Structure 1
Amino acid sequence: MTAADETTSRGGTDDPDLLVLRKGTHGIPIEQYAGALRDRLPDRTVKLARTPGTEREAIEDARFVTGMVLDEELLEAATNLEVFACAYAGTGHLPLDRLEEREVTVTNASGVHGPNIGEHVLGSILYFTRRFNVAERRQRRREWRHYQAHELQGSTVTVVGLGAIGQAVCERLEPFGVDTIGVRYSPEKGGPTDEVVGFDEEPFHDALARTDYLVLACPLTDVTRGLIDHDAMTTLDPEAVIVNVARGPVIDTDALVDALRSNWIRGAALDVTDPEPLPEDHPLWNLGNVQITPHNAGHTPKYYERLADIVAQNVRRFDTEGSDADLENQVTL
């Protein structure tokens, strides 16, 4: 189906079983997402709205909608909306209060990012373990001079957040012979780590004091905003490295800059920053012990395929059970 063909590829009806909104992600055309959904729902009508006008018109009668964003203006036009399948893992950008008032069920893309972000985290850890940042500088200078490196084996890795991403990180760390500490809201639930603690200050700081690599893979909440502050960074060992694939504000940026400049910690791998995008004149760009990627850990060519698996299954459940359906990745509003 071409971008100009905004009706359906199957079914021939004006009221689709599933409406796909026009915004894509990671530079991958949204047509690929619509195509993946059609492959999984050959007996359903899937409509892709490729213009603002088509979105406003099509959403009026749509009951099940999926997309990256849904602003309040478009929501007001969605008079029959019952399910919004957010194509991001995070839903903080959505008008959640209004969706709750409208009794719209919201799902997210949790689990889609596990393999790729898990690999990104492992790569970031190995980058600092083997000190590839030093190797890069010496290669640019054409300087053949040995340097000391580290071993990951025997290290302690603390993973904050044991959702799909945190679990994927732990699975990929298992062959490396590390000790793992997990941090979650309900430590009594356990997890895939050798030890699990909560966010209470004493056990959390005790974990930080034993940490060589700190992986942040948690949602941004009132509890986690500014979690890694001045106290946290002075509690970490000076050889510790922070890897942030969560959200920028989980770290106090000013405290991080101070810690990196003062050698309170060895380094940081930042896929997210606060502010974001990171301004061109920000000091983090010029620190030799920082690896920055532009919120890129979530990129995978399989993003739409994994997401379509979840959404297509939920469409079928919704068709069968209606508003009583227990949908995968349903968000508590």
Structure 2
Amino acid sequence: MSQYTVFITSPLEAEYVDSIRSVSPGLEVLFESDLLPSPRYVADHKGGPLERTEEQERRWRSCLERADILWDFPPLGADGRSPMLGAPKVKWVQTTSTGVGPLVKLHGLQNSDIIVTTARGVHAGPLAEFVMLGLLAHFRGLRHLEAEQKQHRWTRYCGDEIAGKHLVIVGAGDLARGTAVLAQAFGMRVEAIARHPDKSRDHLHVFDAIFPVERLHERLGQADAVVIAVPHTPDTDTMIDRSALGAMKPGGVFVNIARGSVVDESALIDNLRSGYIGFAALDVAAKEPLPPDSPLWDMPNVLISPHSASTVQAENARITEIFCHNLREYLAGRPDRMKNILNKSLLY
């Protein structure tokens, strides 16, 4: 009899399944690829459409019933019910994302004893690169250069730079850390807005200053660029509202690598239309996929990423490394030494 059974509930490459199996000879790892949707790209954790036969559905339910540990939350049913109701033995879920607080609520687990660990740390680097892509595209005039090149026009001009610019990051966690490291390398002044500015942080040194949320509007007014990097919780829902956007310095850059629900999208669109916000780089939207009739698609001062800025070739390798570390600690009876344990009361 195996001591623990792991069920992999989202697409994963075979080499990483083998890495998980190698953690312990007493570990049973259930990986039934025909029960999972086909990945559409590398590190696709949702996959394409899937319809299971009755026999496959029986096997799926059997795996859930047997599992002690899950790699990823199983998708919610078409009726919105959580499949976790059919997984009575599960004591721990390793997720493939960082901002999973709302998903924990959807599964009704915020008051449960189930451990939830996240992929925190995996996405900070790629998302920070997307931030810099947006900042460089605006300040270095990428679209101007593209338009000139299309016209075969060689006309010298004077551009701008990001060195010396003032960056305010709303959030002071891992995504903020990754962004601050790159921004400082480019010579920017970096401030963070935090719920608890006096909290001890290993990466405190990457910020020039940290301010409380109460000073959000004041600091936005000093920023040449603003990056949203907070988790979506009841406290952060539409925290970047019309008044917050209106507090920004005219012509500034706005980047959202958090969640679309953190921002009043209608107000953002209005400010982009008027030019009050000079440029926006958006990896997320209030409704995803972004509706085809959204004006954001056709705005010349908007860069849209389909919630893919964090997805890179090495993503699953890095998540697997976290999971295998956590497995070793869990199997050794040291759950307190596991990485990235979600605080279910705070939802991050």
The verdict on how the C-alpha distance between 1:242 and 1:100 changes in structure 2, with shifts beyond 3 A counting, is closer
Say if 2:145 is the partner of 1:140: no
3-state DSSP of counterpart to 1:158: strand
Question: Contact conserved, 1:259 with 1:265, CA < 8 A, in 2?
Answer: yes
1:105 Cα deviation after fit? 1.2
CA spacing shift, 1:97–1:292, aligned 2, 3 Å: closer
Matched, 1:86 2:95: yes
CA distance, structure 2, for counterparts of residue 151 and residue 282 of structure 1: 31
Q: Report sequence identity in percent.
A: 27
Q: 2:5, 2:29 within 8 Å by CA — same for their partners in 1?
A: yes
Which residue is equivalent to 2:307? 295
**Structure-1 separation of matches of 2:111 and 2:337:** 19
Q: Residue 310 of structure 1 aligns with which residue?
A: 322
Q: How far is 1:81 from its partner?
A: 1.0
**CA distance, structure 2, for counterparts of residue 66 and residue 294 of structure 1:** 24
Q: CA 1:260–1:96 in 2, change beyond 3 Å: closer, same or farther?
A: closer
Any stretches of 5+ residues in structure 1 without a counterpart?
A: 1-12
Q: Deviation at 1:272?
A: 0.8
Contact 1:49–1:58 (CA under 8 A) maintained in structure 2: no
Instruction: Decide whether the 8 Å contact of 2:68 with 2:90 is kept in 1.
Output: yes
Following TM superposition, by how much is the alpha carbon of 1:140 offset from its aligned partner in structure 2, in angstroms? Answer: 3.2
Instruction: Label 1:319 to 1:39 Cα distance change in 2 as closer, same or farther (>3 A).
Output: closer
SS in 2 for 1:116: helix
Distance 2:188 2:164 in 1: 5
Q: Provide the C-alpha distance between the structure 2 equivalents of 1:128 and 1:100, rounded to a whole number of angstroms.
A: 41
Superposed CA offset, 1:108-154 (max 9, x none): 11111121111111121111110102222333343434444211111
Native 8 Å contact 1:112 1:306 kept in 2 = yes
Q: Does 1:121 align with 2:131?
A: yes
**Between Structure 1 and Structure 2, how many residues are aligned?**
313
- Which of 4, 12, 21 is 1:38 aligned to? 21
1:161 aligned to 166, 171, 174, which one?
A: 171
Change (3 A) 1:126 1:84: same
Q: Helix, strand or coil for the counterpart of 2:175? A: helix
Deviation digits for residues 158-207 of structure 1, max 9, x if unmatched? 1111211110111111222211110111011263311101211xx11110
In 2, are the aligned partners of 1:31 and 1:48 still within 8 Å (CA)? no
Amino acid aligned to 2:342: V
Preserved CA contact (<8 Å) 1:70 1:94 = no
Tell me how far apart the structure 1 counterparts of residues 155 and 237 of structure 2 sit (CA, whole Å): 42
In structure 2, which of residues 58, 64, 67 is the aligned counterpart of residue 62 of structure 1? 67
1:257 and 2:269 matched: yes
Give how far 1:233 is off.
Answer: 2.1
What is the CA–CA distance in structure 1 between the aligned matches of 2:75 and 2:294, rounded to whole Å? Answer: 32
Q: Distance in 2 between matches of 1:141 and 1:226?
A: 41
Distance 1:142 1:279, change over 3 A: farther
- What letter corresponds to residue 164 of structure 2 in structure 1? G
Give 2:30's match in structure 1, choosing from 12, 29, 47.
Answer: 47
Equivalent residue letter for 1:20:
I
Matching of residues 22-37 of structure 1 within 5 Å: 23-24=10-11, 29-37=12-20
> Residues 102 and 196 (structure 1 numbering): CA distance in 2 closer, same or farther, change over 3 Å?
closer
Output the CA distance in 1 between the equivalents of 2:13 and 2:127: 21
1:197 aligns with 2:211: yes
SS in 2 for 1:60: helix
Secondary structure in 1 matching 2:104: coil
Instruction: Give the conservation status (yes or no) of the 8 Å contact 2:257–2:284.
Output: yes
Partner in structure 2 of residue 8 of structure 1 = none
Q: Which amino acid aligns with 1:37?
A: I
Contact 2:84–2:107 (CA under 8 A) maintained in structure 1: no
- What CA distance in whole angstroms lies between the structure 2 residues aligned with 1:149 and 1:90? 37
Distance 1:40 1:305, change over 3 A: farther
TM-score (norm 1): 0.86
Task: Find the partner of 2:279 among 247, 261, 267.
Answer: 267
**CA deviation string 1:257-298 (max 9, x = no partner):** 111111112111111112221111211111111111111111
Q: Which amino acid aligns with 2:172?
A: L
